[in-house]
Amino acid sequence: MSSATGSFSAPAQVHAFDGLLSDFDGTIVDSTNAIVKHWHQIGDELGVDPKTILATSHGRRSIDTLRLYDQTKANWDYVNEIEGQIPKRYGSDAVEIPGGRDLLAALETSGAKWGVVTSGTRPLVDGWLKALNLPHPKNLVTAMDVTNGKPDPSCYLLGRKQLGIEDSTSIVVLEDAPSGIKAGKAAGFKVLALTTTHSLHQLQEAGADWIVEDLRSISIKAVVDGQVQIEIRNAYQ
C-alpha cells in the first residue's frame, strides 16, 4: 500500500550486518488462509466470534491469544497440538512470500549468520517448511522459548544469542507485523518491514527503518569479514 506522497522506488542500497533474523509467518510464508480457517475452528469451539480473535492474533503467540478467551486452553500441550495440525489440515493454503525461497537459499549458501524468530510453535514452523520444501534454519526461536512474546524484545535478543554475536547491535530484522517491528526496535536492531499483511501506515507507526513490498526487494550480495551484505531495492520513499 502506498500513499500519494511516496512510492516503492528508492534506489538500490547495500547495508552490511553481523547477522539477520527473520520473522516467519507473513514474512517468509504466507499462511493467512490457513490461519483464518484455523481460528474459525478454534473460535467455534470456544464460542467466540473468529473475527474478534483474528483482529488481534497476527504476530501474537497463540498462547497469549487463548489467554484472552479460555485460560484452560492456554497451555503448551494444547497450543503445540493445534498448531501442529494446521499444516496437515490446510497445507495447500500456504505459499512462500514472493522472494522467500530465493532468500533462504542465498542465506544457506552464503555462510551468513541468520535465524528465524517466530511467534509460532516448532511443530507449526516444521510443518510449513516441510509442506513447502523450504530450507530449515539452524537457528530458530519459537513461542515456547521466551516468557513474553512480541512486542517484548526477548525473542530477538535470544535470536542474537543463538547467532553467537551477543555484543552486536548490527543486526537486521525482517518483519511484517507491528508487534514484531516493535520487538526488533526494542532489541536495538534495524528493522526491514514487508507490506504483506499490514498497511504502510501501520509499519511506519511501528518504527520500521525500511519498508518494501516483499522479499523480492532483498538479496544477499556477499559475506565479507563475517558480515552479510544485503541489497535493498525499491524501498518506500
Q: What is the pLDDT of residues 127-182, one digit of tens each?
A: 999 999 999 999 999 999 999 999 999 999 999 999 999 999 999 999 999 999 99
In a domain, residue 2? The reply is no
For residues 171 and 204, state if they share a domain: yes
* Averaged pLDDT, 40-55: 96
Q: Which position among 23, 30, 93, 176 bears the catalytic label?
A: 23
Q: Find the CATH number of the domain harbouring 79.
A: 1.10.150.240
**Predicted confidence band at 112 (pLDDT cuts at 50, 70, 90)?**
very high
Q: Model pTM?
A: 0.94
- The amino acid present at 48, given as its one-letter code, is V
For residues 113 and 200, state if they share a domain: yes
CA 70 to chain centre: 26
- At 52, list the grid cell: 474478534
What one-character-per-residue DSSP string does 86-154 give? HHHHHGGG-EEPTTHHHHHHHHHHHT--EEEE-SS-HHHHHHHHHHHT-PPPSSEE-GGG-SS-TTSTH
Closest CA to 177 of 146, 159, 203, 152: 203
Instruction: Say whether 209 is catalytic.
Output: no
For residues 63 and 135, state if they share a domain: no
In a domain, residue 4? The reply is no
- At 224, list the grid cell: 565479507
pLDDT, position 1:
47
* Averaged pLDDT, 180-200: 97
pLDDT, position 5:
83
Q: Which position among 18, 25, 93, 176 bears the catalytic label?
A: 25
In a domain, residue 113? The reply is yes
Show Cβ contacts of residue 185 under 8 Å, excluding neighbours closer than 6 positions. Answer: 191, 206, 207
For residues 122 and 179, state if they share a domain: yes
- Its domain, for residue 227, covers 9-31+94-236
For residues 105 and 218, state if they share a domain: yes
Closest CA to 182 of 212, 155, 144, 162: 155
For residues 37 and 148, state if they share a domain: no
Res 2 pLDDT > 70:
no
pLDDT, position 58:
87
- The amino acid present at 52, given as its one-letter code, is T
Instruction: Say whether 145 is catalytic.
Output: no
Distance CA 140, CA 22 (A): 10
For residues 21 and 70, state if they share a domain: no
Structural domain count of the chain: 2
Sign of CA dihedral 135, 139, 144, 150: negative
For residues 85 and 186, state if they share a domain: no
pLDDT, position 95:
95
Q: Cα separations (Å) of 42 from 15, 164, 179, 188?
A: 43, 38, 23, 36
Which phi and psi angles does 4 have, rounded to 5°?
Answer: -65, -20
